[in-house]
Amino acid sequence: MTTPQPKTFAFYGRVSTEDNQDPESSRSWQLTRASTLIQPHNGRIVAEYFDIGQSRSLPWQRRTQANLLLAALRNPGRGFSAVVVGEPHRAFYGNQFGLTAPLFVHYGVELWVPEIGGPIDPDNEAHELVMSVFGGMSKGERNRIKLRVRTAMAAQTLLEGRYLGGRPPYGYTLRDLGPHPNPAKAADGKHLKGLTPDEQTAPIVRQIFAEFLAGIGLFAIAEGLTANHVPCPSAHDRARNRHRSGIAWSKSAVRVILTNPRYTGRQVWNKQRTDEVLLDVDDVAMGHTGVMRWNARDKWVVSKDITHEPLIDDATFEQAQAILQRRGRGTGGQHVRQRTRNPYVFRGMIYCAACDRRMQGQYNHGDAYYRCRFPQEYALANQVEHPSNVYLREDALTDPIDTWLAAAFAPHRIEHTITAMADAQPLEHPPATAPAAQTIITECDAKLERYRAALDAGADPAVVTGWIAQTQAERARAEADLHASVGTAPRRMSRAEITTLVNALGDITAVLRDADPADKAEVYRQLGLRLNYQPETQTVRAAVDLSAHRGVMVCVRGGT
């Protein structure tokens, strides 16, 4: 009697966090559930895909391991004929099952789920209904957790005035308040933190409020602090502000201090929120992404009692808010953001060579200009040489740039331009982690071949299956490391890829001649156009990404 061949499976599981859950324990119990389901059917797991730190709300295409599993489905030599999940709540969220299951059906790969008791029958309405229920339960569970956490944080702020994390505001530093009130966290050595005045910066905050109430404007305050060599907030704490220049005080930094109610000694929470917006409105299956947005002041949660030493009193703070409101800064001194009503062809592409900041669009008498507001936003006492006014008229730049691009992409020169773009790319340097990850993958492949040979030779299936699962998990981790390193490393585009990109733009000469401003701006964006305006010489240095035609100097009129 012939022994039936074991049915080969790939295992998929997921754990959302590394700090609040043990990934190895979570993987073990999910793998145990999956193995218990398939073992009576002579099944063995030969591949593992286990996502760590991936939210269930992310669609499979955006989870590292789940995406690798989907890619494996397309490979006829994938090495498994079915996929088993440890728990459907962790694998599918919302309508993800309905979006993913057709791929399994298309590639002829069964999907096994413990709650179904075996493979899902795509023609069975009851199976589809059960999986839809699990997806809804998964979404509901996540929403309930979010609601509980936000409600608890609001209550802790309002009633207890508890410091809930984040960087302390300028003028304060953190102090230890003793063991955490949660016994489990206290057992782990965690302590509560609170705000206490910083000896160096607290007097500066009091000075800012005093000067503002005395009638000194935001810019004058910033100018005076910079002239007195007082480090601005980003310069005072360089470790957490490496992305900022820290060269001087700005009006915005002074305004943030004047509008922060924490200086009255009360704790504040919910100044910002995270909205989930569609990643791609043309492909809702790609799911959502989080976007941080400011809340209106009536949404802020402020503690009822004073919880830390105040730097100013309530009356001083309210007077500052009243002055800001009278000056038209919006409710509570906040900026009211306005959507641009006018098109700007070079929006976000023009930089001021004096300070390397993007120039901002402005319409004067019906004409588009670009200006650098560095002198208006940052104090002049920082001794940065910068003209007081930098303006560049758009129509003075459009024709020279279009002429240059049209010449470069003219039919008789386009092949030469593509070749030059390909040759001008920087050399590729593979990440240091890539060779090590590739070595691990090669070693794992060799081990898997030996283990399969051992199975064919009659070795104990239970023992060998454990070896295979462990090796496959190691291989999956190495693949993830390799994928991550390759994704962050700069890659040279081939000549064919550049040709495809250029051809996709169509006849650039005709587009630049006939297009409306929005279409023309899109062409510039896809070409990676960057313009550096030198106010002293009134010249613009135009550069197209990956192009050898860098450093072209275009003389313009209308710049100051």
pLDDT, one tens digit per residue, over 338-352 is 555 667 888 888 988
Q: What is the pLDDT of residue 445?
A: 82
DSSP string, 182-221: SHHHHHTT-EEEEEEE-TTTHHHHHHHHHHHHTT--HHHH
Per the domain annotation, does 83 fall within a domain? yes
Do residues 138 and 200 share a domain? no
Do residues 185 and 326 share a domain? yes
Q: Count CA atoms closer than 13 A to 275's CA, side-chain side.
A: 9
323: CATH: 3.90.1750.20
Q: Is pTM, for the whole model, over 0.85?
A: no
Per the domain annotation, does 442 fall within a domain? yes
Per the domain annotation, does 327 fall within a domain? yes
Beta strand pairing status for 539-544 and 529-534? antiparallel
Do residues 198 and 327 share a domain? yes
Q: What is the pLDDT of residue 554?
A: 42
Residue 421 burial (10 A CB sphere; 0-12, 13-18, 19+): buried
- The total of other beta-carbon atoms located within 10 Å of residue 70's CB is 17
Per the domain annotation, does 30 fall within a domain? yes
How many degrees, rounded to 5, is the angle at CA 57 between CA 55 and CA 63?
A: 60
Q: Could you tell me which residues come within 8 angstroms of residue 378 by beta carbon, excluding any fewer than 6 positions away?
A: 222, 247, 248, 249, 250, 384
Q: Could you tell me which residues come within 8 angstroms of residue 161 by beta carbon, excluding any fewer than 6 positions away?
A: 266, 267, 303, 304, 305, 306, 307, 308
Per the domain annotation, does 59 fall within a domain? yes
Q: What is the pLDDT of residue 440?
A: 83
Do residues 185 and 109 share a domain? no
Residue type, 65: Q
Per the domain annotation, does 197 fall within a domain? yes
Stretches where the chain sits below pLDDT 70 are 1-4, 17-20, 243-245, 328-342, 374-384, 421, 424-434, 455, 459-466, 469, 483-495, 497-498, 500-515, 545-560
Q: What is the pLDDT of residue 464?
A: 67
Do residues 112 and 26 share a domain? yes
**Domain termination residue (choose one: 316, 333, 350):** 333
Do residues 328 and 438 share a domain? no
Per the domain annotation, does 71 fall within a domain? yes
Number of domains in the chain: 3
- Under 8 Å between Cβ of 274 and 292: yes
**Which one, of 322, 265, 515, 246, lies nearest residue 405 by Cα?**
515
E strand or H helix at 513: helix 508-514
- Under 8 Å between Cβ of 444 and 470: no
Do residues 182 and 118 share a domain? no
**Domain termination residue (choose one: 469, 488, 507):** 488
Contacts within 8 Å (CB) and 24+ apart, 322-329: 323/212, 323/213, 324/255, 324/258, 324/259, 329/255
Do residues 43 and 110 share a domain? yes
Q: What is the pLDDT of residue 97?
A: 92
Per the domain annotation, does 193 fall within a domain? yes
Do residues 328 and 443 share a domain? no
Do residues 219 and 259 share a domain? yes
**Domain termination residue (choose one: 143, 163, 197):** 143
- Dist. CA 120–CA 101, nearest whole Å: 9
13: CATH: 3.40.50.1390
Do residues 96 and 15 share a domain? yes
- Domain of 118 in residue numbering reads as 7-143
Do residues 188 and 104 share a domain? no
Q: What is the pLDDT of residue 546?
A: 47
